[in-house]
Amino acid sequence: MVAAFASTSSTPISSSVNDATVDDSEKDRTQQLRVGRLTKAHGLKGAIKLELFTDDPGRRFVPGAVFTLQVPTGSAWHGKTIELVELRWYNQHAVGFFKDVVDRSAAETLAKAILWIDADVAEQSDEEDAWYDHQLVGLAVMRDGVRIGTIGRLEHMPAQDLLIVKTPTGDVMIPFVKAIVPSVDVKNGVVTITPPPGLLEELPEDPADAEPTLETDSDTDAAASALKTD
């Protein structure tokens, strides 16, 4: 699920459900939830610090939990999953130990990888101000009482989530943070935004920044005539 100022998020990307063993109705109920990001190696025994994107790590990060990895296509981990052996806490920071990640060198190859899990689309969250992607896509986007477009999709970036808003002039990326997206009303199908100047349109040129107008010969002649008259 995704939140305007929390961190839990999800996206209906391709499911890891085995196509050969489930029917279409079951696959349609499954999506992947983004639950964490591996930040950097911790120590020498393969541990990795975690940024958690869930308010319920005790349920998501249990021994044996398997995560799909989101990594660059050039990574040796691309297309693979990873299994959690143990989650520990050091100075209030989550640190994960994973199967087959046995030393610091292996852990460093996983830095910045995003962790996803399979989940049921119908699963409801008890977290405040958190939504699944499928709840947000298609909602009207309003600014100052005027509809500017609809949410086409969400982009989940390492730093923050982005709403991709379809407008008459093209797609616009809106950072999904509370300061810019103060209200999400799924029931009424409306998202209210308060973007800073320049986010949705080009700012008008500041007159003070304009280049001075060059004086022409005719302007000079007119000024000289006025002085003679006086």
Tell me: the pLDDT tens digits for 173-205?
Answer: 999 988 999 999 988 999 999 998 888 775 455
pLDDT one-digit tens code per residue, 68-82: 999 999 999 999 999
Place of tokens 């990307």: 13
pTM equals: 0.53
**pLDDT band at residue 225 under the 50/70/90 scheme:** low
Phi, psi of 30 (to 5 degrees): -110, 135
Mean pLDDT of the 209-222 span: 53
Query: How does the average pLDDT of the chain come out, rounded?
Result: 77
CATH among 3.40.50.1100, 2.60.120.620, 2.30.30.240, 3.40.47.10 for 137-192: 2.30.30.240
**pLDDT band at residue 215 under the 50/70/90 scheme:** low
Range(s) within the chain of domains with CATH label 2.40.30.60: 2-15+22-126
**pLDDT band at residue 142 under the 50/70/90 scheme:** very high
Query: What CATH fold (topology level) applies to the domain 2-15+22-126?
Result: Elongation Factor Tu (Ef-tu); domain 3 (2.40.30)
Dihedral over Cα of 117, 123, 128, 129: its sign = positive
Residue 199: per-residue pLDDT = 82
| Helix spans in the chain (H) | 24-28, 57-60, 104-108, 133-136, 217-229
Whole-angstrom distance, CA of residue 58 vs CA of residue 6: 17
Range(s) within the chain of domains with CATH label 2.30.30.240: 137-192
| Helix spans in 41-198 (H) | 57-60, 104-108, 133-136
Residue 24: per-residue pLDDT = 44
More confident residue, 28 or 79: 79
Residue 180: per-residue pLDDT = 93
- Residue 74 sits at the vertex; the CA angle it makes with 72 and 77, to the nearest 5 degrees, is 70
**pLDDT band at residue 18 under the 50/70/90 scheme:** very low
* 3 state SS of 179: coil
